[in-house]
Homo-oligomer: A and B are copies of this chain.
Amino acid sequence: MRKKITLKDIARELEVSISTVSKALKNSEEIGRDTKEKVQAFAKLYNYRPNNIAISLKNKHTKNIGLIIPDIVHYFFTTVFRGIEKYANSRGYNVIACLSDASFDKEVINMEMLANGSIDGFIMALSSETQEKSDYNHLREVTEQGIPLVLFDSTTDEIECDKVVIDDEQIAYEAVKKMAGSGKKRIALFSTGAHYNVNKARTKGYLRALVDCGLEVDEKLILELPPEKNIDIIDPFLESNSIDAVLAVNEITAIHAMNLARKKGFRIPEDISFIGFTDGLLSKYAQPSLTAIAQHGDQMGSIAAHMLIERIESENEEEEEPVFQTKVIEATLIERDSTIN
């Protein structure tokens, strides 16, 4: 077992001081040619690499980004992760990912754990429980310590920090308008709980489109689905409301409903159209393929990482109150066979 070599080891071996070694490896002008060459050769031979932890302690930055998301077995978050990781890596950062698992407590614990020096900044999407409780003290705690924070997807107005979101309202509006435009009159909205900030925006867009298209707003057409086992609810709903289009706030619900509708003998998209949020694998490979709203997770991720790293690396200079920004990414409607084109 060839243990890692340190500056001290090199210094002892070469009979020079630690600082000489350090400077020699940095090609400092202070050190003479011969010594530099000797040290560099030795370091290369023994494959010397500076210890990240020691450097972190000294420089007070870790080159680590903390990422806290509700779930990872989830197409959208997965693409965001990829976007973050790729960008962060290109700037020499690594990402420590924690799953809050939709739990407020885990979110808090994870943040506290990482906030004690492990990371230079956070990127996070609020868990549903946190949104329900509207308790953002853990976020405040972190920002007050001067740790940069970027919120994405599910954010909150109560915390001042950089944010990157998609225009949920606008794209929901467009989706509904598209279906209305192809003659649909009874357009349903499948939601997953009003406490999700994104759901609120989507509902708003849905409603606005209805009004703009001169369609009746029927509260009964807005279906609130609990997290799991929606079948029992969707099935009778489909029966009784003579709906001819559905906008679903997530992919699974959309596919689920579409499968159910097909089994009931509805023709898609003629009898009933479907559009779902998240343009994942399910949408692509469904039969018929599902018209979907692409949230551009990769892009969101890389933008979030960019904003965060800029903030981290500019922290030294600026002393004045920072001015935060919210980047809005345009979602895209990917038209497939579940809608009339």
By the criterion CB–CB under 8 Å, are A62 and B53 in contact?
yes
Residues of B within 8 A of A117 (CB): 4, 51-54
Q: Complex: how many Å from CA A145 to CA B51?
A: 14
What's the tally of chain A residues with a CB closer than 8 Å to chain B?
55
By the criterion CB–CB under 8 Å, are A262 and B287 in contact?
yes
Residues of B within 8 A of A72 (CB): 72, 78, 81-82, 85
Q: Name the residue of chain B whose CB is nearest to the CB of A66.
A: B94
Interface 9-residue window, one of A96-104, A167-175, A195-203, A221-229:
A96-104
Q: Tell whether A25 is near chain B: CB-to-CB under 8 Å.
A: no
Residues of B within 8 A of A281 (CB): 252, 281-282
Interface string of A269-308 (1 = CB under 8 A from B): 0000000000001100111000000000000000000000
Q: How many copies does the complex hold?
A: 2
Interface 9-residue window, one of A27-35, A108-116, A237-245:
A108-116
Q: Tell whether A57 is near chain B: CB-to-CB under 8 Å.
A: yes
By the criterion CB–CB under 8 Å, are B287 and A4 in contact?
no
9 closest residue pairs by CB, A with B: A51-B117, A52-B117, A53-B117, A49-B116, A1-B146, A73-B78, A255-B285, A52-B118, A52-B116
A selection of 18 A-B contacts at a CB cut-off of 8 Å is A1-B145, A49-B112, A49-B115, A57-B57, A72-B82, A78-B78, A85-B98, A86-B99, A89-B106, A89-B110, A94-B96, A94-B114, A94-B118, A96-B97, A252-B281, A255-B285, A259-B287, A262-B287
